[in-house]
Amino acid sequence: MEKHTITAMFDDYQAATKAVSRLKAAGISESDISLVGGNESMRTSGSSGAPETSDATAEHAGTGAAMGAAVGGGAGLLAGLGLLAIPGLGPVVAAGWLATTLLGAGAGAATGGVIGALTSAGVPEEHAHAYVEGIRRGGTLVTVRAETRLVDKAVDILDDDGTVDMEERATSWRKEGWTGRFAGASGSSTPPGPSGSIPIVQEDLKVGKRQVAGGRVRIHTHVVQQPVQEQVNLTDERVRVERTPVNRPATAADRVMQDRTIEATERREEPVLSKEAKVTEEVSLRKETDRRSETVRDTVRKTEVDVDDTRRKPQTGSR
């Protein structure tokens, strides 16, 4: 099943751990969530969820060995949460698949291992360098490998308050003199060739894609009351007793000297109210996908060869 890698950097360790808890609650497997926090975040967090450093930890920061298992109140956050000493970064708090990758490197784990693990998961190399630089400066990196159906949920959770805008942050670092590559990463070197040979190198431009959040739309309904009125015509019946003087001989039909009773019932109309609910409109959310082509411009380098031949050419012809 295809999985997408989603990353987010946090300045606040507690905001990062909150995001991890929300990711787990959203149904993302713990094995697909990783957290790596820098030394500064451990010192300033002030929570039992973040492992505290000590003089002993700092003393062994260059060994590259795993240091400790689940510690403090963070034991329930991600399995295996603990300290890991990485050359160039010092002690970091790490858990999840990224930490497992680094532990697999043994004592040789280095910052290049972090960058390599991120790029192997689909993160562009320049972004991986920026993330590792952020960890070195005390940030906390949360990385998620999400199935396609869970990508939107993961992006919504990680695109919350407290998430660092890495493009803006990297621009700020470059103004301070950062070169765009993490200084502690081991660069690849070309082994020396035979005597008198110079390798000719050319860069190729590779363009990848990543998903970024572009804002969200929420629909919420609530019930309001409004007064209404209708005009209705009503009829009222009233009974009146009328006495009419007459002067005529009595007949058999008049049932003279017998008891008789007549009655009439008054009636009146009153309004009766009833309500009928009707659906007048439906509101829904639908995503539309637009495909576009974008021209990406950058520069690549290659080695040019200039030959400076100062040899004297032999002269020919007779004197």
Instruction: List, for residues 216-259, the tens digit of each pLDDT value.
Output: 788 878 888 889 898 989 898 888 998 999 888 877 777 667 77
What amino acid is encoded at 273 in this protein? Answer: L
CA–CA dist 47, 10 (Å, integer): 16
* 294-305 pLDDT tens trace: 888 888 888 888
- Selection from 156, 115, 114, 182 nearest residue 8 by Cα: 156
H-helix or E-strand containing 70?
none
Residue 200 · residue 303 · CB < 8 Å: yes
**94-98, 104-108, 170-174, 273-277: which range is least confident on average?**
104-108
Q: What is the token pair recorded at 237? A: 């019946």
Q: Is the dihedral of CA 186, 187, 188, 193 positive or negative?
A: negative
Question: Higher model confidence: residue 260 or residue 270?
Answer: 270
pLDDT reported for residue 227: 92
Residue 56's pLDDT band (cuts 50, 70, 90):
very low
* 271-296 pLDDT tens trace: 888 888 888 898 888 888 888 888 88
> Across residues 8-37, what is the average pLDDT?
91
pLDDT reported for residue 112: 58
Q: Can you say whether residue 257 is alpha, beta or left, with left for phi > 0 and alpha for psi between -120 and 50 degrees?
A: left
- Selection from 180, 20, 179, 3 nearest residue 99 by Cα: 20
pLDDT reported for residue 104: 62
Residue 98 · residue 34 · CB < 8 Å: yes
CA–CA dist 1, 148 (Å, integer): 9
The β-bridge partners of 114 are none
The β-bridge partners of 143 are 7, 34
pLDDT reported for residue 197: 58
